[in-house]
Amino acid sequence: MSGCFVGRLSAVYGGTYMLDKPVDGIVTESGKLVGVRSGDDVAHCNMVICDPTYAQDHCRKVGQVRLVLCLLLPSIGIAAE
């Protein structure tokens, strides 16, 4: 998804979408997520959606995602009818 689309959805639903901010760590208190640290700043939150490489200590693999792309040449013709 494009950054502008995701950023807009984040704003509509009350979230914050951060670009070009280094992630220095996930902040937890008593085993519960409370924020994300970037330098001296902490962005407090209830939920973080990120690539698992940012939170390796807080994630576990439970499955796999596969992407399948099907190119049909010539087209199947249903759309033309």
Residue pLDDT, tens place only, 28-53: 899 888 989 999 999 898 888 888 88
Q: Could you tell me the pLDDT band of residue 81, with boundaries at 50, 70 and 90?
A: low
Distance between CA atoms of residues 57 and 64, nearest Å:
19
pTM of the predicted protein model = 0.56
Mean pLDDT of the chain: 80
Stronger pLDDT, 37 or 13, i.e. the higher one:
37
CA atoms of 60 and 62, how far apart (whole Å): 6
Report the C-alpha gap between 37 and 27 in whole angstroms: 6
- The rounded distance, in Å, linking the Cα atoms of 23 and 51 is 11
pLDDT exceeds cutoff 80 at 9: no
DSSP state of 42: E
- Does the pLDDT of residue 64 top 60, yes or no? yes
